[in-house]
């Protein structure tokens, strides 16, 4: 797969597999890997960035693992967004504005 230079995305890819533990026992997990570019993943990266509390519950997460429907009251199209955030342990996620 051919890659152009993208400093921010390259830095993210270098952090693949990192787990950062904080003094309060909370931790961050970083997953990022190259995939084929598609309309769902136009940057060619599949990612999952999560913060977990000391009880191992996900508190906040950003990923593009599955589609979410954007919250728009006036727009009735079938636009599906993959980049989203989870702001609760069991939430389906909210589309990110990218």
Identify the pLDDT of residue 20: 95
Q: Is the pLDDT of residue 98 over 60?
A: no
Those residues with Cβ within 8 angstroms of residue 71's Cβ, 6 or more apart along the chain or in another chain: 94, 95
More confident residue, 34 or 85: 34
Looking at per-residue confidence, does 20 or 66 come out higher?
20
Torsion of CA 80, 82, 84, 90, to 10 degrees: 90
CA distance 70 to 61: 17
83-96 pLDDT per residue, tens: 666 676 666 666 66
* Tens-place pLDDT, residues 36-79: 988 778 888 889 999 999 999 989 888 887 776 655 555 555 55
Residues 6+ apart with CB under 8 A from 64: 40, 41, 45, 46, 47, 82, 83, 84
The CA distance from 10 to 12, in Å, is 5
Cβ-contact 91, 75 below 8 angstroms: no
């Amino acid at each position: 797969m051919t890659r152009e230079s993208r400093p921010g995305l390259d830095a993210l890819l270098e952090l693949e597999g990192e787990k950062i533990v904080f003094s309060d026992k909370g931790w961050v997990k970083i997953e990022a890997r190259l995939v084929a570019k598609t309309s769902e993943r136009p940057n060619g990266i599949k990612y999952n960035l999560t913060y977990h509390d000391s009880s191992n519950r996900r508190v906040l997460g950003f990923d593009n693992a599955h589609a979410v429907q954007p919250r728009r009251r006036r727009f009735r199209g079938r636009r599906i967004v993959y980049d989203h955030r989870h702001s609760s342990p069991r939430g389906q996620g909210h589309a990110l504005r990218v």
